[in-house]
Amino acid sequence: MSSHKPVVVVVDAQTPGNVGTIARAMKNFGLSDLKLVDPPPLDPGGEAYGFAGHAREDVLPNAEEVSFEDVVATYHTVGCTAITGEDSRRHRRFPYTTPAELADSLQTVDSRTAIVFGREGRGLYNEEIEQLDEICSIPASDDYPVLNLGQAATTVLYELRDLTVDETQLPDREHERAAEDDIERFYDYFGTFLDAQRYNDRKREKTQRLMRRLIGRAHPTGREIHTLLGALRRATEQLNHRQELLDQYDEPDRFGDETAGDGDTEQTGDDA
């Protein structure tokens, strides 16, 4: 991984709010070095600082105004654009990488890199693009691929987060898979559950195999597999109890022969 975090360069932004939005995205994703080429006025009481969030405390006030030529001469440059060449015959905007591909590429390069964003609406000019080292473009709908400047910067910086953020607010998603004997016990009890519901014998083997594949892909934790096992046990007990009740109702009346006629009444009348 590069020892240098990328710098962010915004060329000729027309709206102070977009500069503030980009500064905020930089703060979100662990970047602090903002370079501005021909920026609009950034009034501390104005739109840029209003949109910057906590980046108003460091990223935005420390932004440096530079020339485009200085950026090209100092950094390995990556120009961001929504418009790309259609094939290899057009070299200004081709070849290009997606932000995710750019992140993979920069993982293996130790260089001072500048991520360069252009103007709202018009982006980077062709003569500017020609001076940059790489082109990056965000995959978007062919019907409307042009993103707002702040949105584009946020998307690109998000994809670069593995290069710039050491730790996020999210908890560790790694977990320990349940012990294999516990998982096997679940599979065995799943068979018992199928028995309790009188499952179709012709489909049983396939169903058990599907359950094994499903659990195998899920990598359940010990707590998860024990919870599932507990639910299966309860369902099995209820099914067995229900079947016991049904079996009782299906038994022949043990007293039927002994009590036959007990309810008959003596016939009286003219025919007695």
Q: In this prediction, what percent of the chain has a pLDDT beyond 70?
A: 84
| Residue carrying the six token digits 């659990």 | 215
45 & 17 share domain: yes
Q: Which of 71, 84, 75 is nearest to 38 (CA)?
A: 71
| Type of residue at 89 | R
Beta bridge partners of 9: 35, 116
pLDDT confidence of residue 88: 56
Q: How confident is the model at residue 1 (pLDDT cuts 50, 70, 90)?
A: very low
pLDDT confidence of residue 2: 53
- Mean pLDDT across the stretch 147-175? 84
User: Could you report the per-residue pLDDT of 72-112, keeping only the tens digit for each?
Assistant: 999 999 999 886 665 555 556 667 789 999 998 888 878 89
115 & 197 share domain: no
| Residue carrying the six token digits 């290899």 | 88
Q: Are 42 and 114 in contact (CB under 8 A)?
A: no
Please tell me the distance from the alpha carbon of residue 153 to that of residue 118, in angstroms, as a whole number: 10
Please tell me the distance from the alpha carbon of residue 177 to that of residue 170, in angstroms, as a whole number: 20
Element (H, E) at 201: helix 201-218
27 & 119 share domain: yes
Query: Looking at the domain assignment, is residue 268 inside a domain?
Result: no
DSSP-assigned letter for residue 170: S
157 & 56 share domain: yes
190 & 236 share domain: yes
DSSP-derived 3-state class of residue 102: helix
pLDDT confidence of residue 249: 81
pLDDT confidence of residue 93: 63
DSSP-derived 3-state class of residue 200: coil
184 & 158 share domain: no
Q: What is the pTM for the complete model shown?
A: 0.68
Beta bridge partners of 62: none
- Mean pLDDT across the stretch 146-150? 88
User: Is residue 48 scored above 50 in pLDDT?
Assistant: yes
25 & 127 share domain: yes
| Residue carrying the six token digits 């739109």 | 47
pLDDT confidence of residue 20: 96
User: Could you report the per-residue pLDDT of 212-260, keeping only the tens digit for each?
Assistant: 999 999 899 999 999 999 999 999 999 998 888 888 887 655 445 444 4
Query: Looking at the domain assignment, is residue 37 inside a domain?
Result: yes
Which of 162-176, 187-201, 246-260 has the weakest average pLDDT? 246-260
- Mean pLDDT across the stretch 52-56? 95
pLDDT confidence of residue 251: 63
159 & 212 share domain: no
Please tell me the distance from the alpha carbon of residue 30 to that of residue 257, in angstroms, as a whole number: 88
DSSP-derived 3-state class of residue 116: strand
212 & 129 share domain: no
User: Is residue 167 scored above 80 in pLDDT?
Assistant: no
Q: In this prediction, what percent of the chain has a pLDDT beyond 90?
A: 61
How many domains does the chain divide into?
Answer: 2
pLDDT confidence of residue 173: 64
Beta bridge partners of 64: 35
Q: Please give the mean pLDDT across all residues of the chain.
A: 86
The parent domain of residue 65 ranges over 7-164
Query: Looking at the domain assignment, is residue 271 inside a domain?
Result: no
Listed as own residue / partner, the contacts of 141-147 with beta carbons closer than 8 Å and 24 or more positions apart are 145/82, 145/83, 146/82, 147/82
pLDDT confidence of residue 260: 46
Pairing assessment for the beta strands 64-65 and 7-11 based on DSSP bridges = unpaired
Query: Looking at the domain assignment, is residue 172 inside a domain?
Result: no
pLDDT confidence of residue 85: 62
Tokens representing residue 172 in the block = 């560790």
CATH number at residue 22: 3.40.1280.10
Q: Are 163 and 103 in contact (CB under 8 A)?
A: yes
134 & 191 share domain: no
Q: Which of 39, 78, 81 is nearest to 60 (CA)?
A: 39
Of 98, 129, 164, the residue that ends a domain is 164
